[in-house]
Structure 1
Amino acid sequence: MPKFSEHFGLGKSQHELDFVDVSNEYDLPVYVDPYAIEIRDDIWAREAAGQVRVFFGEVLTALRDGDDHRAEGLMSHLKEPKETFLGVSKEGPKGRGVGRHQAHQLISAIKKSKAFQTGLLTDFSEMSLYVEGIDRDKMSDLTTNIIRDLLVNYTQEQCELYGIETLNYNGPPLWDARRGNWEARDVKLPYIDDDAVLLVPKYIVRRRLSLDSQEFYNKQITDFLVAENLRVNSALVQTIKGKRKVFKGDVRQANPKSKPYIADVVRDHPELLDLYKEIAAKQSVMLDFGDEGPNVTAVCQTLSDRLPNIPAGAKHASEYHSLVLGALTALFYPALILPQKEWDINQGRKRIDIVYTNAADSGFFSQRRGDPRVNANLVIVECKNYSEDITNQEIDQLVGRFDDDRGRLGILTCRTVDDSKRLLDRCKDAAVRGNGYVIVLTDDDLRSMLQARAQLNDGVVEQVLHSKFRQLLA
């Protein structure tokens, strides 16, 4: 049962990959989570969230206008996305269609929900809280279909990054948010045997939805009910050893969980949902894939051990580039995501440029994105497997890639530096002129960070980055 990475000989663990590493032989029990997309502030997630909002807005508008035919037509193009191999399909990893019948059921469930009838339902990610029959599988399927066009582009970018062939695929239609409708067209996807594969960024998947009706009921709602019963001194209050107490089991028995009941509670006490969503937003995006491969500590230690065994020079440039790409992903995910290859130049020395999306909400990369001098929406990486020192030409090449939209932060990796002061002066000159900020990471730097990550000491990783950046300002 080879995974995608094994089938295409990538030689990388899940922690070195930006996407979920799936097999076409079974579905992986993780789910695309619309709230995980909604709360992110990176470029890709904002576009995905926008597509979801437009789609759901079209559905709700049609229903409020009494145009059930339009609403069902929008929903009928949604199919279980067999190409992602995520979730738990009732028919194995081949998926099943939604079609008009299931679309009618979905629309009927939305219309019958108290949240829709009272105008409370406006957010797609909250459907699982209020609408009967909507669970993590259905929410994942719906979200995947709505953002399928973005996932196709993402898959193609990852295939270009790793040199994987893509072939024509006549799949389900794609949602066009600008036209507010579905568009049928062929796309290009990679194949494992006869199965097309649609890759999914791992930062938008969860083992369960961030917004889960049972969890919301068990925690925020139950705690609120306990406090309310104590406040009004209801019949559920018991005095035990001189202390007044309300048992959670008693309040749940008196107020059984149902989606209409959850809608009533949120209508009367919206602050409970605000609290729940605030807590959910703070949950880590570092999905633990459990037995799906070695953990991040083992991966980082392995990468640290492998790095010095790769010889410098053009002959081994591809091997070095591949290891650095995996190392940076393992070190900086989820701050840096969605690696994309810009171009190859092979004029004596092979050169590969990678652009990461800066999605950090704290730490070094978040500060660089928020700094108007840097504005690092993207982080541009160049890998140099040279046996001699970096020159002005390499610094100028990287700086030349900066602009106001991308930002002005780059990482240049190289094997070693003989004249560190001279190289630092070159980087400082670029910073002083306002051209941009280049952080140079040698083998020693990368190994230091990888070994720290292997010991779960992320503070060292941050220290290295901050120290390198401060040197540019000194």
Structure 2
Amino acid sequence: MPRFSKHFKLGLSQHQLDFVDISNEYDTPVYVDPFAIEIKNDVWSEQASHQIRIFFLEVLEALRSGDDMRAASLMSNLREPKETFLGVSSGDPHGRGVGHGQANKLIKAIKNSRAYSSGLLSDLSEMSLYVEGVDRDKISDLTTNIIRNLLVEYTQEQCDVFGIETLNYNGPPHWDATRRNWVSKIVQLPYIDDDPIILVPKFIVRRRLSLDSQEFYNKQITDFLISEELKANSSLVQTLKSQERVVYKKDIKKEFPKSKSLIADIVSKHPELLKMLKSVAKNQKSLVSFSEDEESIQSLCLKLASLLPEIPQGRNTADDYHKFIMGAFTALFYPDLIAPKKEWEINGGRKRIDIVYTNSSNSGFFSQRRDDPNVNANLVIVECKNYSTDIVNPELDQLIGRFNPDRGKLGIVTCRQIDDKKLLLERCKDAVKNRQGYIIVLSDYDIIRMLNLKGHLEENSIETSLHEKYRDIIS
């Protein structure tokens, strides 16, 4: 069975999609990572982090108050999330989740961990560092189940974007952070054959967890232990002919073999090591590719640059142009711009926005626009104009009408060409002067240039172009 995109004939590659393009015949070897959610600044991630935090605190509070039955009841609903087709399993993809029978084992493992008894354990994303038997598969499945309702809503939004039919699905219960309990509900999901599908955003998955105990031990922990042994001039210290004193990692690992209790003990006394690990993990790039046979992002961008001029101008091909822009923007700006919504209804359905992206940037142009109180670009609003004539005031007024304090005041208008660039720039400047909003116009020339820049690994030049266009309208 082909991947989701081919089954539903989306005509887009993984790089043009916001979600992991799964198949229902095998698991895609990536994992939902709670730390990848925690470090993002967008509204969706904040909601997901809140739900994860509330759930785990509820479990810990039950354990600390001696209510193991309540803790086991909470954990027993964390079933195998077979609808996502992520992770690694043998044979048919059914996942390797917690499951009802493993809830008590997991509770026991938490209670037996040094981090729980010392009070160090407070965060689900850190559980794989401290609790024996808990690794990326269980953390991924735990997280998936806790944010199941948000993933279902995300799936429905992506199905709306691409016009994919959804059907009733009476699956596992959803975590309700307000009620602090599990709630059963029938939801709408797409199906491939008889399999319900839950789509997962690319930006929340990793090939291994950001907070990986083996990586932590191999790097920060062993480096710290080497330093400590040198300070103490222990028996592990060797003196070279050059009189340099050294401690070898192989000797450290023999003297202090990896265990999660060891990690908990060291972090309790030296929390700066965990802070260092998180700092490194925070700077990891989001995954964009999940299979060796996928076309590279560079090759795709060069191909898209050649395809844009082939789309005819005019109303009859507006949908083709619209679809192209959405895929091209995801290829260009992911993971800064995520979760696209197409023809998003606002003001009670009286108005529609061509494309809305959630601004999830941690640095650079889009992050600066979100953090600027005058712009407050929590969303980036995109209007696509497949016109053969220049954009005039009504088109700009239409975009300005989409701005508000919650969405922010940053918009992008895409168009095929600009004949009178000076006049259009003055119109955009007027919107800034009147405090109506900030509008950047990107023509075919601009988009093709950006695609070619990314195709030639010159992404910094894309950032420079956006800054230049922004400076033009505020100067």
* TM-score where L is the length of structure 1: 0.97
**Alignment partner, residue 366 of structure 1:** 367
1:187-206 alignment runs, 5 A limit: 187-206=187-206
Which whole-Å CA distance do the structure 1 matches of 2:291 and 2:3 have between them? 15
**What's the offset of the Cα at 1:351?**
7.8
Whichever residue aligns with residue 239 of structure 1, its letter is T
Shift of 1:101: 2.0
Alpha-carbon distance in structure 2 between the residues aligned to 1:14 and 1:99: 31
Deviation digits for residues 363-396 of structure 1, max 9, x if unmatched?
1111111111111111000111111111211101
Could you tell me which residue of structure 2 aligns to residue 29 of structure 1?
A: 29
Report how far residue 287 of structure 1 moved: 4.0
Shift, 1:227, TM fit: 0.8
Post-superposition offset of 1:89: 2.4
User: Is 1:445 aligned with 2:455?
Assistant: no
Shift of 1:95: 3.8
Tell me the distance in 2 between the aligned counterparts of 1:355 and 1:129: 37
Report deviation, 1:90.
4.1
Matched, 1:300 2:301: yes
Residue 454 of structure 2 is aligned to residue 429 of structure 1:
no
Residue 162 of structure 1 pairs with residue 166 of structure 2: no
Q: Which residue of 2 aligns with 1:209?
A: 209
Q: Which residue of 2 aligns with 1:6?
A: 6
Q: Which residue of 2 aligns with 1:230?
A: 230
Mapping 1:144-163, distance limit 5 Å: 144-163=144-163
Counterpart of 1:433 in structure 2: which amino acid? N
Q: How far off its partner does 1:293 sit?
A: 1.1
State the alpha-carbon separation in 2 of the partners of residues 352 and 10 from structure 1: 21
Residue 278 (structure 1) aligns with:
279
- 3-state SS of the aligned residue for 2:52? helix
Q: Deviations over 1:288-318 (max 9, x none)?
A: 4241511110110111010000000111111
- CA distance in 2 between counterparts of 1:427 and 1:191 reads 45
Partners of 1:101 and 1:363 lie apart in 2 by 47
- Kindly provide the CA deviation profile for residues 428-455 of structure 1, in whole angstroms up to 9, marking residues without a partner as x: 1111100001111000000000000000
SS at the partner of 1:461? helix
Residue 267 of structure 1, CA deviation: 1.2
Show CA shifts across 1:72-117 (max 9, x none). Answer: 0001011111110100124521346644321111111111111101
2 CA distance for matches of 1:99 and 1:123?
A: 21
- The Cα shift of 1:342 comes to 3.9
* Distance in 1 separating the partners of 2:222 and 2:110: 25
Q: CA deviation at 1:274?
A: 1.2
Q: Which amino acid in structure 1 is aligned with residue 439 of structure 2?
A: V
Deviations 1:123-151 (A, max 9, x none): 11110001111010000000000000000
Give the structure 2 partner of residue 260 of structure 1.
261
The one-letter code of the counterpart of 1:248 is K
State how 1:302-341 maps to structure 2 within 5 Å. 302-341=303-342
Partner residue of 1:376? 377
Aligned residue for 2:292, secondary structure, equals helix
CA distance in 2, matches of 1:97, 1:256: 28
SS in 2 for 1:429: helix
Residue matched to 1:243: 244
2:40 is aligned with 1:40: yes
Aligned to 1:269: 270
Partner residue, 1:119? 119
Distance 1:95 1:225 in 2: 37
Residues 353 and 402 in structure 2, CA contact (< 8 A), matched pair in contact too: no
Structure 1 window deviating more from structure 2 (202-211 vs 97-106): it is 97-106
Residue pair 1:424, 1:472 contacting (<8 A) in 2 also:
yes
- Give the whole-Å Cα distance in 2 for the aligned partners of 1:95 and 1:394: 49
3-state SS of paired residue (1:381): strand
Query: What is aligned with 2:400?
Result: 399
Alignment CA distance shift 1:96-1:245 (3 Å): closer
Equivalent in the alignment of 2:186 = 186
Structure 2 residue 28 is the aligned partner of structure 1 residue 16: no
The code of the aligned residue for 1:403 comes to N
- The farther-off stretch of 99-108 and 35-44 is 99-108
Q: TM-score, length-normalised on structure 2? A: 0.97
CA–CA distance in structure 1, aligned partners of residues 28 and 382 of structure 2: 31
Check conservation: 1:29, 1:88, Cα contact below 8 A.
yes
Cα gap change, 1:331 to 1:68, in 2 (>3 Å): same
Kindly tell me: are residues 396 and 185 of structure 1, through their superposed partners in 2, closer, same or farther at Cα, counting changes over 3 Å? Answer: same
Kindly indicate whether the alpha-carbon contact (under 8 Å) linking 1:80 and 1:97 is maintained by their aligned counterparts in 2: yes
Residue identity opposite 2:309 in structure 1: P
The AA in structure 1 aligned to 2:194 is D
Aligned equivalent of 1:53: 53
Q: Whole-Å Cα distance in 1 between the matches of residues 226 and 73 of structure 2? A: 44
Change in CA separation of 1:176 and 1:359 when aligned onto 2, cut-off 3 Å:
same
Contact 1:73 1:100 in 2 (8 A): no
Q: Over residues 28-75 of structure 1, what are the superposed CA-to-partner deviations in whole Å (9 max), with x where a residue is unaligned?
A: 000000111111111111110000000000000000000000000001
Between the aligned partners of 2:368 and 2:271, the Cα distance in structure 1 is 33
> Does the 8 Å contact 1:109/1:133 carry over to 2?
yes
CA distance in 2, matches of 1:387, 1:288: 36
Q: Is the 8 A contact 1:230 1:244 kept in 2?
A: yes
Post-superposition CA distance 1:321-340 (Å, at most 9, x none): 11110111111111111111
What is the percentage of aligned positions where both structures have the same residue? 63
Q: d(CA) in 2 for partners of 1:155 and 1:389?
A: 36
Tell me how large the CA RMSD over aligned residues is.
Answer: 1.5
Any stretches of 5+ residues in structure 2 without a counterpart?
A: none
- State the distance in 2 between where 1:266 and 1:454 align: 43
Partner AA of 2:195 in structure 1? D
- Indicate the SS of the match to 1:382: strand
Are residues 344 and 390 of structure 1, via their aligned partners in 2, closer, same or farther at CA, if it must alter by over 3 Å? farther
Distance 2:384 2:288 in 1: 28
AA of the residue aligned to 2:160:
E
